[in-house]
Structure 1
């Protein structure tokens, strides 16, 4: 297993916290805001979750090999 530096771990935690907060905002807004606003919150939650997941996977690869 690759060793990860504390800065990478901290960045992962920050990204996951942002994604979780966005998912919470989306869940709490359901049934309370307009469809347009709800869609924006959903897209934000999906984007941040995808970014956190992608960063995590890339940091775990270590040597950054091509994906194709």
Structure 2
């Protein structure tokens, strides 16, 4: 599940969309945004913790 998040650096929720992105391999559309308060660039929305665990399953690290 994709969740909207505030800026990790300053906690702000005022941002400018830089571009749309496809965050594979789980699929889903998101945006690359720039925080208007501190300038941090990040993905929003992003996957919740459960989806991240699924993506980074133990098999991910076994062959790399």
Tell me, yes or no, whether TM beats 0.5. Answer: no
Structure with bigger strand share is 2
The structure showing larger relative contact order (alpha-carbon pairs under 8 Å, at least 6 residues apart) is 1
TM category (shorter chain) comes to: under 0.3
Task: Give the alignment's TM-score, normalised by structure 2.
Answer: 0.27
Q: For the pair shown, which has the larger CA radius of gyration, 1 or 2?
A: 1
The normalised TM-score by structure 1 is 0.26
Q: Larger helix proportion, structure 1 or 2?
A: 1
